[in-house]
Structure formats: C-alpha cells, structure tokens
Chain A
Amino acid sequence: MTVKLDRRSFIKSAAATSAVATAASLFPGISFADWKKQTGSNGMITWKKAPCRFCGTGCGVLVGVSGDRAVAVKGDPKCSVNKGLCCVKGYHSVQALYGKDRLTRAQVRKNGKMVEVPVSEALDLIAAKMKETIKKHGKDSVAIYGSGQWTIPDGYVASKLFKGCIGTNNVEANARLCMASAVTGFLTSFGLDEPMGCYEDIENANVFVTWGNNMAEMHPVLFSRMLAARKRKKDVILIDFATRTTRTSQAADKSILFRPQTDLAVANAICHEIIRNNWVNWDFVNKHVSFHKGKTNIGYGLEDHFAFKDKAENMTFEEYKEFLREYTPEKVEKISGVPAKDIRYLASLYGDPKKKVTSFWCMGMNQHTRGTWINNLVYNIHLLVGKISTPGNSPFSLTGQPSACGTVREVGTLTHKLPHGVVMKEEARKMAAEIWDVPVSNIDPKPTYHTVEMFRALDRGDIRFMWIQVTNPMVTMPKLKRYRNGALKEDRFIVVSDVYPTPTTDVADVILPAAMWVEQEGMFGNSERRTQHFEQIVPPPGEAMSDTWQIIEVARRLGFEKQFPWGKDEYIGKIWEEYRRFHASPKHNMAPYEVLKKRSGVQWPFVNGRETRWRYNAKYDPAVSNGEEFHFYGKKDNRAWIWARPYEPAAESPDQEYNFWLNTGRVIEHWHTGSMTRRVPILHNAVPSSYVEINPEDAAELGVVNGEMVKIISRRGEIVMPASINGRGVPPRGMVFVPFFDEKYLINEVTLDAFCPISKQPDYKKCAVRLEKA
C-alpha cells in the first residue's frame, strides 16, 4: 500500500468524520452503525475498539487503522456509554497522535541545554539520581506525580514502586485537582467511593439538575443522551444551576444562577423546604439514613503544612432540622441571589414522589474550598427523599479524565491510599505487602503530601526529585509562579514523561518520550465504574514507550527485579491480574483480563459474570446482605450519612480593590491544557487561543469591545488576553471566565491555591481579580 493511497484514505475518513460530527451536533443521539461497513468496504481500514483518550465519559470508539497508522475514529455502536456517538474531540482524536513536534527521543539536560540521548541512558540517569537523592535526603525526598490519564497499569506500578518498594507515600496524581472532593464526598456520605448509579439513569430520569456543570461542553455525549431522552419522553426537564450562562443553560428548560460558593446555602435551603413540606421519604430515612455533623470554620489551606482532620458527631433528625432553620429560602435568597421561589421550585422537583431526579456535577462542586461539603449536601437532598440507587434517581458525580476513577481512585495513586484501603490501616498495608511481595515494614503508615503540598515541598526543598507522567502541572497548578520557580531551583531534579513539549517539559532535567493511548495496551476506568481495555493498535514513534514500562525499567535498575518480573509481551495482563487481587470481594470485584479484552467495558462490582448497574440496591447489587431493599454497607452503621454542613464563604471574595470573581474552566474543543488538541488542526483552528469572557455591561463600563485586550490582575499575578463578549458563555456582572487550555495565557499565574481542607482539592472557580483595559 502506498503512502499516497493511505493519505487519500485518511482524508476520506476525515471527511466522513467531519460529516458525522456535524450531524451529531444537529441531531443529539444520532448513530451510524453502517459506517463500519461503508469504510471497511474498500478493504483498506481495519477497526479496533478502545475507550476515547479524552474525558471521563468513557465513550467506546473504533479506531481505523491502515498499515501502522491510525487514520480514523468513529463511535462504537456496541458500547453502551455512547451507542456509536462521539464528540468533536473524540472524532478527531487519532490526529493527536501525529503532531509534528511529537517527542520521540529521550532528552537530558547537559550544561543547561536539552540534548537527545538513547532512552537507556536517560533511564540509567533517572535511577542513579533517585538512588543518590534517597541516600542524601531520605526516601521522602523523591516523588511521583501522575494523572487521571495514566492507564490503570501505569498507576499501579507507580504505587508499587514508590509505596511498596522505595517506601515513600510521595505518590499523587492530578485527579487531586479534579476529583478529590468527589472521593471525600462519597467516603463521608457512604463509606465507599464512586457513584451508585450508571448512565442508564439518563434514560430513566424525569428531572435533571446540573450543579455547576456545563455538560454541553464538558460531557457532550452524555448531554446529548439527556437531550434525546427529553425529546423522546416529553415529561423530562433540565434545570441548569450554575454561576454563569453556558451552552448547558441555553439548552435547559430553566437556568438558575447563583453567586459563587453559595450552592452550599441553596442545597441546605432545598433540604429545609423538603422537611417543611413533609416530602421526606420517612420509610427510607428511618431504615437507611443517619445524621451527623463535623467541624466548622475549617480554613482554606493557604499556608504551608496546613493540617485539618474532621471529627464526626452523631446528631438526631430534630437537631438536623434545627440546623436547617437558618436556611429559609428568603434568607438564602439574600446570600445566593437565587429567588426564593426558584429554591422552592427546586425543592418541589426533588420532593415530588412521582418524579425521578438525577443530579449531575463535576468541577463546579469539586473545585471548591468546601468541595466535600457540597458533595455531602447534594447527597443529603437525594437521601431525604430516598431518590438514590434506583434507575433514574441518582446523585451522579461525573469525572473529568478518562481514568480518574480507574487509576487514581481505584488503584489509589494518592498519598494516603493503597489499591485497597489506606496506608494508615495495618490490614491494608499487610494486604499490599503480601500481593507486592515486599516486607510490610516497607509501607509507611503515614501519608506525606497531597498535590498542592507536594509542590510546596518541592519549592521548600523537602522534595528534591520529582517524576511527572501524563500531566502538565506547569500549566495547571494554581498560584503557578511559586511552583514553577520551585521546580527550577538548584538541586531539584525533574523527570517528565510526555508526548509533546509543554511548559512542564521546559522545567525538566530528563524528558522521556511516552507512548500515547492506543500505542500501548492498557485500561481506563470511567465515571460509571466501567473498566475499559484497549490493545496496542499502532506502534509508538521512535523510542517512545508506555509509562508503565518506563517505571518497570527504572524499578529494575533500582534492584526491584523480583517485584517487576514481567516480559514485554505479557506485562499488562499480568499486572491486571495481580491488581485484581486487591478488589476480590462482592463490593468491588473486577472483571478478569480475558473478559475485559472481549467487551467494550465492564462495570464493577463484576460478580459471577454479572456487572452491577446500581449499587446498594438489593435488586442489582450482589453485595447487599441485610435483607432490605437497600443496604449502604460502606459505613459501619450500614446507613448513608446525612451531614449538617453550613454555608461558609470562599477563601477570597471580590472587594473594593479586586472587584471581580475569576472562574476558570474548559471549552469543548480542547482537552485540559491543550497539549494534544492544539496539535489537531481542526480543533486548534476552531478555538486557536484562550480569552476572557466578560459580561457585556462590565465590558461597556471598561470600554472594551470584543477581541480587545484586557489585563486581569490578582494578588498573585497578572495576564493580558483578548475579551470575549456575548460569546458561547456569558458570566454575570462582576465575574470573568477564562479557559485554561492555552499555554500562551497561563491563567493559573493569577489563581489562588486555596483548597478544601478535607479533600485538599484546590478551588479554580473562585478568586478575586480586577480588570484593566490593556
């Protein structure tokens, strides 16, 4: 087959892809099962299944391969997640493999300049530097910082090497920046992480409430499923509850705007109204719920070494009701700006026993200095009315990354976690030591640094060596300047494994070229507890290798051959089967490797050959053992916990000097920091650079028209960027919004590194800035 033929075939696939993407935007839920037959008819392209590389939805895709090159993508009609549909990023995803500046050779900094070296030399240097650093500064001076885009084997071997072999808990991942509050929300309310429901809730619900969640752009395939359900069933409504007007608001039946941080007060007011109107599902509450309170005035984590530990106390329903007395709709209207009638309307939707309600959220609730609390409060609403763990009744925390759940939450690539349980628990350490074949004394019972504190430790010099894989913290860390300066300090050694040059490779001492997505075998885990296997479909370029294999190579150089014995042709299957031992129980059993290979994703708990759609519900969940309809077996009292959590203000609010809220986020065309999607010409050309959304009236007062440059100034830094007025999103007066995908405009120079004291997840949605016409 000639290159010319390949190219033409590639362009035809792109043409079909473009038409399908356009059709998908016009007709939500549209599918094209015959596409496979059509493109296969010329005999040039073979199609292989994989999960999409980008967001946490976990769409199944079919990757079209011609020779050694991936040339097309289409939705996998056999995958229940997306039923043949993809979003614009998914349809163009294979093009992200072939950017002109792809990293294909290892590089090492020599005399201040990066020079290409054989990958074996780079791996030797990494191992030597780790040994030297540990010898000089102790085991807790080396760290690995990974990602919700790590495959499950990537994260697993990282944890095994650092926690099990080296003996440091310096393992963190960027999911701390996006999902940590969801995790602590689940753990505090249910005792176990991850959603009880699944995407089939979408076809069963009558009411959707999106809590600070622009699903139209961030989870477009699920959003289109929701719109399709609304069109088909006629009795479905969508309420968008947000701080700015977005594409989701425009498609909603009702858009309700609230002042930043006041979702806490509104959620409590909804509960107040549910109780006042006696919409409580008493049968459910009496059998399955208990009431609790924790500490208040819990701080914001702005200082180094900040420490906080919550303390749960039991309370009665009457005490909880008393706590809610402060949250009448009228009082909360004054705090939140949400009209009392809208609060009552929301409460009536949740309270109506005839309606099935699904709440969706993602970064709006998680990137929040009270992220754990607001997760708790939305669970409170669902628990009071018993709308949980049944088809269509679902409080549903969506994930942002393809394996934030699979790799970070399930494998446990966070400082306090192990693949099963936490380092503080002796039983969990014993289990890990046995499976990993290391002495139990190797595993330190004390967590070290969560992500923000890990980068503070790097700045202070407590950490001297950091290996960063599949993530771009020199764009994404809040209060970025401090952490970039920290990484650049003398006697810091930074290794970066990535596929393209980024601001993070700019601070590296060693760059390892990584295999990307289907250039390696692996697994992701999506938002609905679905594990998705993909085989190596095309070869990686040059000397690029999987992140898993990079870690194995270094582990062997450090003397841990016994713990990392696998061959290159078998290692993913062997790692999976070893990892699966951690979850061998009806509460979390994972599917065997051979089952994963055959299917377009398998949901856990996978018990006796069956997936679990709704957890805690006796009809669906084999772990339910109390003889009741529901069993919240994650908590010792076998109940779900309702928490009294008050409204507390943001870490930094607008004042006379800095009079605007700054909110940051994403756009549909670009994935996170844009290091991949900006290399896809169609996506790059669609949104070539970032911008600041300003309310039209604020823009008029500032004397700024669309496209003019605006200076955004905070107490941390400043940035000049073009204004977007009446674009796809419109903030209310007194707020600006900036997408963070563009490394030309590092908005995190301006943001604040305040975090939720329980989850340690930073708040990227709220800090104070002022504007000037540039």
Chain B
Amino acid sequence: MPILSYIAGPREGKKQELLEELNRLNYCEAFPADNVDILILVTDTPDKETEEALQKRLKHMKNMESLSMTFGYNDELYEGERNDSEA
C-alpha cells in the first residue's frame, strides 16, 4: 500500500488540464505551484496491483511532460513500526 509523491511537469500550456486530469484519477491528489509550471502529485493506492495500474496510466498521460518521484513509503516495509504505534 504505497504512498508516493512526485513533481509533475505539464506540457506547455497544459498545466490546468493536467491538474484536472490528475485530480479525476482515483488514488491521486494534485495541487499546482502558483508561480512555476509544475504540479505536486500525491498517490495513495491500496495494493500492488492498483499501484501498477496507476503507474501505467500516469506514464501515458498526454499532458504530462515529466514525472519525478520525491518520496516513497510502503506499509509492508514498516509493518512492525505501524503495529507499535497502534498498540
């Protein structure tokens, strides 16, 4: 169940379209920079299959020029720590 964040670069003049497109996708939340043509995208998927499907979808978005990951978290890797905090 990974949570990832990215800096997304839109194609020229397509920042708003890309923002809307990303926010329509399940498991995605995007918000724009005010003064630079980039977006921040945070994804939160429930399982590996959904994550892979989402990755594929992101790769083929026509308004997206670039996508750089900045943060990655996977519950499975932190299971022990999570159980500690829930105890």
Query: What residues on A are CB-neighbors of B54 within 8 Å?
Result: none
With A19-B70, A22-B7, A23-B7 as known contacts, state yes or no: A12 contacts B35, CB within 8 Å. no
Distance between Cα atoms of A29 and B6 in the complex (Å): 19
**Chain B residues within 8 Å of chain A by Cβ, number:** 24
Q: CB distance B71 to A19 under 8 Å?
A: yes
Distance between Cα atoms of A15 and B4 in the complex (Å): 6
With A15-B3, A18-B71 as known contacts, state yes or no: A23 contacts B33, CB within 8 Å. yes
Distance of A73 from chain B, by nearest CB (Å): 15
| Per-residue A-contact encoding for B1-37, CB less than 8 Å = 1, 0 else | 0011111000000000000000000000111111110
B82 beta carbon closer than 8 Å to chain A = yes
With A3-B85, A3-B86, A7-B85 as known contacts, state yes or no: A12 contacts B33, CB within 8 Å. no
Distance between Cα atoms of A18 and B85 in the complex (Å): 22
Distance between Cα atoms of A19 and B9 in the complex (Å): 13
Q: CB distance A22 to B3 under 8 Å?
A: no
Residue of A11, A22, A41, A84 touching B34 (CB-CB under 8 A):
A84
Q: CB distance A32 to B31 under 8 Å?
A: yes
Residue of A3, A7, A23 touching B40 (CB-CB under 8 A):
A23
B42 beta carbon closer than 8 Å to chain A = yes
B38 beta carbon closer than 8 Å to chain A = yes
Distance between Cα atoms of A23 and B36 in the complex (Å): 10
A31 beta carbon closer than 8 Å to chain B = yes
The residue of chain A having its C-beta at the shortest distance from the C-beta of B37 within the complex is A27
Distance of B42 from chain A, by nearest CB (Å): 5
**Interface set, chain A 8-35, CB cutoff 8 A to B:** 8, 11-12, 14-16, 18-23, 26-27, 29-35
Query: What residues on B are CB-neighbors of A15 within 8 Å?
Result: 3-5, 42, 70-71, 73
| Per-residue A-contact encoding for B46-87, CB less than 8 Å = 1, 0 else | 000000000000000000000000110100000000100110
Chain A contact residues (Cβ within 8 angstroms of B): what range? 20 to 34
With A31-B35, A32-B31, A32-B33 as known contacts, state yes or no: A14 contacts B71, CB within 8 Å. yes
Distance between Cα atoms of A11 and B44 in the complex (Å): 10
Q: CB distance A19 to B85 under 8 Å?
A: no
Most buried by B among A15, A23, A30, A37: A15
Q: CB distance A12 to B42 under 8 Å?
A: yes
Distance between Cα atoms of A31 and B32 in the complex (Å): 9
Distance of A191 from chain B, by nearest CB (Å): 41
Q: CB distance A11 to B3 under 8 Å?
A: yes
Query: What residues on B are CB-neighbors of A30 within 8 Å?
Result: 33-36, 38
Q: CB distance B34 to A34 under 8 Å?
A: yes
Distance between Cα atoms of A23 and B8 in the complex (Å): 10
Distance between Cα atoms of A26 and B34 in the complex (Å): 15
Q: CB distance A31 to B40 under 8 Å?
A: no
Query: What residues on B are CB-neighbors of A34 within 8 Å?
Result: 31-32, 34
The residue of chain A having its C-beta at the shortest distance from the C-beta of B71 within the complex is A18
A568 beta carbon closer than 8 Å to chain B = no
Q: CB distance B6 to A19 under 8 Å?
A: yes
Q: CB distance A8 to B85 under 8 Å?
A: no
With A3-B86, A4-B86, A30-B35 as known contacts, state yes or no: A12 contacts B3, CB within 8 Å. yes
Distance of A545 from chain B, by nearest CB (Å): 26
Distance between Cα atoms of A26 and B4 in the complex (Å): 19
Distance between Cα atoms of A735 and B40 in the complex (Å): 42
Most buried by A among B30, B31, B32, B70: B31
Distance of A333 from chain B, by nearest CB (Å): 43
The residue of chain B having its C-beta at the shortest distance from the C-beta of A6 within the complex is B85
A608 beta carbon closer than 8 Å to chain B = no
Q: CB distance A20 to B40 under 8 Å?
A: yes
Query: What residues on A are CB-neighbors of B70 within 8 Å?
Result: 15, 18-19, 21-22
Q: CB distance B44 to A8 under 8 Å?
A: yes
Distance between Cα atoms of A576 and B15 in the complex (Å): 47
Distance between Cα atoms of A33 and B85 in the complex (Å): 32
Q: CB distance A16 to B5 under 8 Å?
A: yes
Query: What residues on A are CB-neighbors of B82 within 8 Å?
Result: 4, 7
Q: CB distance B34 to A31 under 8 Å?
A: yes
Distance of B21 from chain A, by nearest CB (Å): 15
Query: What residues on B are CB-neighbors of A8 within 8 Å?
Result: 3, 44
Query: What residues on A are CB-neighbors of B4 within 8 Å?
Result: 15
Distance between Cα atoms of A21 and B33 in the complex (Å): 12
7 nearest CB pairs, A to B: A15-B5, A18-B71, A38-B31, A19-B5, A19-B70, A15-B71, A22-B70
7 contacts between A and B (CB under 8 A): A3-B86, A7-B86, A18-B70, A23-B36, A27-B38, A34-B32, A34-B34
Chain B residues in the interface with A (C-beta under 8 A)? 3-7, 29-36, 38, 40-42, 44, 70-71, 73, 82, 85-86
Known contacts A16-B42, A23-B38, A33-B34, then 20 further A-B pairs from the complex at CB < 8 Å, ordered by chain A residue:
A4-B82, A11-B73, A12-B3, A14-B73, A15-B5, A15-B71, A15-B73, A18-B70, A18-B71, A19-B7, A19-B42, A21-B70, A23-B7, A27-B36, A27-B38, A30-B33, A30-B35, A31-B34, A32-B31, A32-B40
